[in-house]
């Protein structure tokens, strides 16, 4: 119940946030971004539910010499649900993300960047328990990370390649490695006045017990604008690598999916 209430509050915050431009657009395929949407994972009878928002709080500077700088906040949840049929989706695990960000765009070049300082924690939920209320497949543990992540991008026509790195200065369990390199590319290609092709590929190198593994996330879909830059994005998804959910950080996930996002 607590997860549902928090999700509803985040959805309300997302819908009431002002739509508009930003110095740095969030990477499309990066799983750890603020979004409102759901995705069905083919083959494993799982459903991912993302509810979150990233809100600009203050424009610090907008100058032809310095560039464009804003500060804001990020609040998100990422939940994994199991499909039990008859439109029943027990929630198995939820990750909670909150923090602050600074986004910057150069004054005379298509260069832009984002720095986030954030906390993420993960929790098993009642949908993961058996009929007796016992977690039989996996015991819960404390998963928590305080970290900074920096991403720098360069727009080239419809493409935006980017590179980044995450550093966690506090983490539980300690088995997770503190440094995560990242790279990817986004594409935003107008099709009509109200339709746009949006896609991306995101790569991370995640380490557990000093063993690193590449994690790949891809997304491709069509965005339909409905009003003032807001609309619906219908996408196909692909994921392969270490799980994005903290409770399963040392497990491997591989799936294709189809989902819908509300773009604000």
Domain ranges in the chain? 2-263
257 within 8 A of 236, measured Cβ to Cβ: yes
Q: Is the pLDDT of residue 2 over 80?
A: no
The number of residues making up the chain comes to 264
- Dist CA 3 CA 201 (whole Å): 29
pLDDT band at 1 (very low <50, low <70, confident <90, very high): very low
Q: Give the pLDDT band (50/70/90) at residue 15.
A: very low
- pLDDT reading at 11 higher than 60: no
The gap from C-alpha 14 to its chain's centroid, in whole angstroms, comes to 14
Query: Are 19 and 230 in contact, with CB atoms under 8 Å apart?
Result: yes
**Helix (H, G, I), strand (E, B), or coil: what is residue 71?**
strand
> Using one digit for the tens of pLDDT, what is the confidence trace for 43-68?
778 899 999 999 999 999 998 888 99
DSSP run (H or E) holding 5? helix 2-16
Residue with tokens 């491997």: 252
Cα separation, 127 vs 158, whole angstroms: 42
Q: Which CATH superfamily is domain 2-263 in?
A: Phospholipase A1 (2.40.230.10)
CA distance 72 to 57: 5
User: What average pLDDT does the chain have?
Assistant: 89
Condensed to tens digits (0 to 9), the pLDDT of residues 66-102 reads: 899 999 999 999 999 987 766 678 899 999 999 999 9
Torsion of the alpha carbons at 189, 232, 47 and 118, rounded to the nearest 10: 80
Cβ pair 237, 208 in contact under 8 A: no
Structure tokens at 195: 């339709």
């Amino acid at each position: 119940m607590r997860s549902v209430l928090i999700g509803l509050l985040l959805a309300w915050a997302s819908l009431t946030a002002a739509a508009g431009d930003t110095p740095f657009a969030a990477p499309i395929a990066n799983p750890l971004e603020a979004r409102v949407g759901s995705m069905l994972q083919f083959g494993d009878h799982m459903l991912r539910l993302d509810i979150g928002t990233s809100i600009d709080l203050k424009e610090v500077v907008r100058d032809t010499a310095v560039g464009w700088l804003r500060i804001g906040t990020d609040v998100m949840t990422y939940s994994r649900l199991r499909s039990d049929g008859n439109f029943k989706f027990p929630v198995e695990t939820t990750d909670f993300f909150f923090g602050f960000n600074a986004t910057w765009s150069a004054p005379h070049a298509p260069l832009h960047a984002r720095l986030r300082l954030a906390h993420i924690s993960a929790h098993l939920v009642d949908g993961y328990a058996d009929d007796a209320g016992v977690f039989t497949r996996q015991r819960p543990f404390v998963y928590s990370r305080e970290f900074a992540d920096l991403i720098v991008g360069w727009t080239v026509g419809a493409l935006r390649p980017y590179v980044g790195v995450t550093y966690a200065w506090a983490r539980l369990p300690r088995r997770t490695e503190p440094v995560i390199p990242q790279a990817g590319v986004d594409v935003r290609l107008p099709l009509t006045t109200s339709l746009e092709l949006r896609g991306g590929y995101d790569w991370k190198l995640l380490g557990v017990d000093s063993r690193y593994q590449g994690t790949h996330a891809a997304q491709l879909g069509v965005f339909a604008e409905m009003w003032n830059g807001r609309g619906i994005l219908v996408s196909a998804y692909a994921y392969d690598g270490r799980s994005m959910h903290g409770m399963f950080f040392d497990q491997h996930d591989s799936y294709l999916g189809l989902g819908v996002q509300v773009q604000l």
